[in-house]
Amino acid sequence: MYKRILVPLENTPYDAAILGHVRQLARATGASLLLIHVADGWAARNMAQLELRESEELRADRDYLKRTADDLEREGYKVDALLAGGDPVREIIDAATREHCDLIAMSTHGHRFLKDVLFGSVAESVRHRCTIPVLLVRGSASPPTPPA
């Protein structure tokens, strides 16, 4: 069914929700995974043009992606990782197209009404603008509790 799943990650506890679902889905379908983190701060958006060195935040994001990809590979998944910079919605949709992904699976914060107006919603924008299926799973700001 799915051959390549794009998984946008935030480097926050919200990632646990989507990674749990993606593990099951990729195992059932044999899909490969493409993890992406889009750094969207000022330095990330202007690093190339201004020839800036990688910030501590970007190094932390790169390390997080590598650790997450390595963990998934140890579990038997085929995984690639991509650190992008710029507008998250555009970068996610462009990566899905360029990398021939047939599903985007991402977590949501569950903001409603005023918070969506104030903070925007990357998930909602991706859902409305892309042409491939999008799986949205509501995450949590708290890290998951390990099973007893």
pLDDT digits (tens, 9 = 90+) for 102-120: 999 999 876 554 444 444 5
Q: Does an H or E element contain 38, and which?
A: strand 32-39
With a CB cutoff of 8 Å and minimum separation 6, the contacts of 74 are: none
pLDDT for res 118: 40
In terms of pLDDT, which residue wins out, 87 or 94?
94
| pTM for the model | 0.82
Percentage of the chain surpassing pLDDT 70? 77
The predicted-structure confidence for 12-25, as pLDDT tens digits, reads as follows 888 999 999 999 99
Class (C level, CATH) for 4-136: alpha beta
Half-sphere exposure in the Cβ direction for 42 (13 Å, CA): 0
Q: In a 10 Å sphere around its CB, with 0-12 CB exposed, 13-18 middle and 19+ buried, how is residue 108 labelled?
A: middle
Domain residue ranges of the chain, discontinuous segments joined by +: 4-136
